[in-house]
């Protein structure tokens, strides 16, 4: 099924109440002038021309998806005519022009629209009138045959949700978490969809946190490999790989840890925006997130321990090398000392006139060297 992006409002149908732009429309127009290159109000591109960020636009009534192709303006108008209707508009990396037109239709605040276009936000929950703005950071594990100092372990992206009385707009950046499986699964659960847009917000958040758990479990496998290599006698355990893994873990941690506060707000008893039944579902998501946060923190501690252990091994290896060098230097010093004595120009020196003096001295030097070698080997220096 093909869904078209409607870049402006359509005239009301017969008997339909005329749609009045909300109070946020003027600030949105001001924001678009500020963010445009030349300061002028950008002209939305016609539907079907240029970039189309709309992935799916669906109207749900009484928990069931309504058939047909819907523009986002028509779907919103139809949802407002229904008692239990709402719109789920899915966007992928929208441009400013498209997002501005959608914001004017749905009454989105200029600051939230700016965040949705730039996609450089940490997880948060903000309230703009009757519209909630929830920002999630997504994560996906990147498969790799071998962990190197340049391996990408975690790929991150963002999903931003505008939750209103009759709509939910999901804005996805990156491919770390695709929402089509969430939509397909949710459309089989009519009882949950009856709860309205917040049911969709729960399903998306639950999917994002489930991916966190998957990523955490797979990172644990990489840490096991690193730990085994560090403590393997024949392993290399290069510090660069440990440091790269720590950088990837930090990126994952930035996605997971800040989400705790928004979820705490969503599950709070004083939050009247979220239906009571959906708050129970969000508490389950919060439990999963807490587990992931504990895992990430433990991984961070483990990586620090692995790094410290590897640094200690490097120090020990350096000390061993110095002991070997010192042992060989001691053996060489004996030869140098004896040769230096007999190299002095004196007439009255012992054994100079002996017939077998030269081989005797060489044999003595060799015997002392073998004794020193065995002594150093016995004490672990060689």
Q: Which residues of 84-105 are buried (b: 16+ CB within 10 A; e: fewer)?
A: ebbbbbbbbbbebbbbbbbbbb
**pLDDT of the chain, 382 residues: tens digit per residue:** 333 333 333 333 333 333 333 434 444 444 443 343 343 333 333 333 446 889 999 999 999 999 989 999 999 999 999 888 999 999 999 998 899 999 999 999 999 999 999 878 899 999 999 999 999 999 999 988 887 888 889 999 999 999 999 999 999 999 889 999 999 999 999 999 999 999 999 999 999 999 999 999 999 998 888 888 887 766 555 788 888 888 999 999 999 999 999 999 998 877 778 888 899 999 999 999 999 999 999 999 998 888 888 877 777 777 777 878 888 888 788 778 777 766 666 666 666 666 666 777 778 778 888 888 888 778 777 7
pLDDT recorded at residue 8: 38
pLDDT recorded at residue 45: 38
pLDDT recorded at residue 235: 59
- For CA atoms 28, 30, 33, 34, give the dihedral sign: negative
Alpha carbon 179 to chain centroid distance? Answer: 17
pLDDT recorded at residue 148: 80
pTM attached to this predicted model = 0.72
pLDDT recorded at residue 9: 37
State the residue for tokens 């870049």.
Answer: 7
pLDDT recorded at residue 136: 95
pLDDT recorded at residue 51: 60
């Amino acid at each position: 099924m093909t869904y078209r992006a409607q870049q402006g409002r359509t005239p009301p149908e017969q008997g339909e109440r005329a749609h009045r732009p909300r109070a946020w429309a003027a600030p949105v127009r001001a924001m678009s002038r500020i963010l445009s290159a030349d300061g002028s109000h950008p002209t939305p591109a016609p539907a079907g021309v240029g970039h189309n960020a709309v992935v799916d636009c669906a109207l749900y009534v009484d928990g069931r998806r309504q058939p047909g192709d819907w523009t986002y303006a028509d779907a919103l108008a139809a949802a407002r005519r229904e008692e239990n209707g709402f719109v789920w508009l899915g966007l992928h990396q929208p441009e400013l022009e498209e997002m501005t037109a959608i914001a004017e239709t749905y009454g989105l605040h200029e600051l939230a629209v700016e965040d949705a276009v730039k996609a450089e936000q940490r997880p948060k929950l903000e309230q703009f009138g009757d519209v909630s703005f929830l920002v999630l950071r997504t994560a996906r594990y990147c498969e790799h045959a071998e962990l190197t100092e340049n391996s990408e372990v975690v790929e991150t992206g963002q999903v931003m949700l505008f939750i209103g009385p009759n709509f939910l707009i999901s804005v996805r950046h990156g491919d770390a978490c695709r929402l089509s499986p969430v939509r397909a699964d949710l459309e089989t659960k009519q009882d949950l969809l009856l709860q309205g847009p917040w049911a969709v917000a729960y399903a998306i958040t639950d999917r994002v946190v489930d991916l966190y758990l998957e990523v955490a479990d797979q990172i644990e496998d990489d840490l096991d490999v690193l730990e085994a290599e560090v403590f393997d006698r024949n392993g290399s355990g290069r510090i660069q790989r440990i440091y790269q893994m720590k950088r990837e873990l930090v990126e994952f941690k930035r996605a997971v840890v800040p989400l705790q506060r928004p979820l705490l707000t969503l599950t709070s008893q004083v939050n009247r925006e979220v239906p009571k039944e959906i708050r129970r579902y969000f508490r389950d998501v919060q439990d999963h997130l807490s587990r992931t946060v504990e895992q990430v923190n433990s991984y961070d501690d483990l990586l620090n321990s692995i790094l410290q252990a590897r640094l200690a091994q490097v120090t020990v290896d350096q000390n061993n090398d110095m002991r070997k060098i010192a042992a060989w230097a001691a053996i060489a010093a004996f030869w140098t000392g004896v040769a230096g004595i007999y190299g002095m120009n004196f007439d009255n020196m012992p054994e100079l006139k002996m017939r077998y003096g030269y081989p005797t001295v060489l044999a003595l030097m060799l015997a002392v060297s073998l004794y020193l070698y065995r002594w150093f080997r016995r004490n672990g220096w060689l």
